[in-house]
Amino acid sequence: MEIYAYKCKRCGHLHYPYRMVCRNCGENEHNEFDPVPLPREGKLLTFTVLHSLPPDFEVPTLGLAIVELTNGLRVTGQMRIDAPAAGMAVRGEVELVRTEGYDERFGMVFYPA
């Protein structure tokens, strides 16, 4: 399973998440983007441990992070790292991140590299 960034077919600018109009050239039509899988390596830009969780989470705390990937794109994801530090090298896996009723949602989870 992959998470995709979107590359403008006209100017090559990468976006994550999806946008309808390219942020760089503004010239594309809808869906004039190529999906490009996000790289899995990056470094921790910032993070938090959340204690006040939304209802469908039955864990007491949740690690969240913003990671800067090797291609310069940034990603928000869950973090399963015991001793996080800013700038730390991390590796992402696409896993189950949330269940809403019977629906399962997948996303990026970061581990120490």
Partner 1 sequence: MAVDLEKILRPTERTLPPFPAKYVTLASGEDMVIRQVAREEVPDILPYIEPLAHVERDFYDVVAARVYAELLAYVRHRMQDEYVLVAQIDGEIGAVVNGRAVDEDTGMSLHTLALRRGLRIGAHAFAAKMEYHMDILNQKEVLIVAESPIGFRRWMIEYKLEKRFDIPHELGGVPSWALTKELFEAARGSLVVGRRPVPDDALAKAKERILPPSDPPTPPEDLLAATRSRYDSTGTALMSQRWKQGGGK
Partner 2 sequence: MRDVYAVGIGITSFTRLEYPLSEIAAYPAMMALKDCGLSEVDHLYVANMGGGRVNHQTALASAVVDTLSLTPAGAETIENGPASGASAIKQGFLAVASGMHDVVLVTGAERMREVNNLEVTEFVATLTHPLAEYVYGVTLPSLAAMFTRLYMERYGVTERHLAMVAVKNQNAALKNEFAHLQQPITIEGILDSPEAMTNNPYVSEPLRFFDCCPVSDGGACIILASEEVARKLDRPLVRLAGVGQATDTHVVHERESPTDLLAVRGAAEKAFGMAGLTPGDVDVAELHDAFTILEIVESEEVGFFPKGEGHVALERGETALGGKLPINVSGGLKGRGHPVGATGVAQAYEIVHQLRSEAGERQVSGARVGLTLNFGGFGNNVVCLVFAREE
Note the residues at the interface with partner 2 (CB under 8 A). 16-18, 45-55, 57, 62, 64-66, 74-78, 86, 97-98, 105, 107
CB of 29 to partner 2, least distance (A): 21
Go through 18-55 and write b for each residue having 16 or more CB atoms within 10 A of its CB, e for each that does not. eeeebeeeeebeeeebeebebebebebeebeeeeeeee
Given the complex with partner 1, which of 58 and 82 has the nearer CB atom? 58
CB of 27 to partner 1, least distance (A): 50
Picked from partner 1, partner 2, none, the partner binding residue 48 (CB below 5 to 8 A depending on kind) is partner 2
Residues that bind partner 1 (CB under 8 A): 51, 53, 58-60
Given the complex with partner 1, which of 58 and 103 has the nearer CB atom? 58
CB of 111 to partner 2, least distance (A): 15
Name the amino acid, one letter, at 15. H
Distance CA 81, CA 89 (A): 11
CB of 41 to partner 1, least distance (A): 33
DSSP label at 17?
Answer: S
**CA–centroid distance for 74 within its chain:** 7
